[in-house]
Structure 1
Amino acid sequence: MSRTRRHRNIRATQLFIIFAGVTVLVWVLRGLGLLTFLPGGILWILILLSVITGIWSRFQR
């Protein structure tokens, strides 16, 4: 595996972890009532970004 390809795979995995972590954090804080001002569409966008980056990370391998 070339160095550039490995670097892209690591970057894709890092993006997935970041998006998934932010999504879980927003979901939990919204459930606790701390982020009730955020519309539900924001949460759906974060979930969609997590799924897309997860699939992208998987296909980079």
Structure 2
Amino acid sequence: MSFPEPGLVVRYDYLWTHEAARGQDQGKDRLACLVAASDSMLRPRYVVLLPITPTPPADDKKVRS
């Protein structure tokens, strides 16, 4: 069975850190991008998904170059 290619956009039940800190145990469906997946023969198989959001990060969370 082949796995989708990196770059695929999927819906994912994503829980932000601040939501978990408030005690939430379920997020909402959000768009996420498949970034990488480990070899299909490895167990457990690892998949990296990054959330996609139109909201810019708060000032204290800005990425610094």
Q: TM bucket by the smaller chain?
A: under 0.3
TM-score scaled by length of structure 1 = 0.20
Higher strand fraction (1 or 2) = 2
Higher helix fraction (1 or 2) = 1
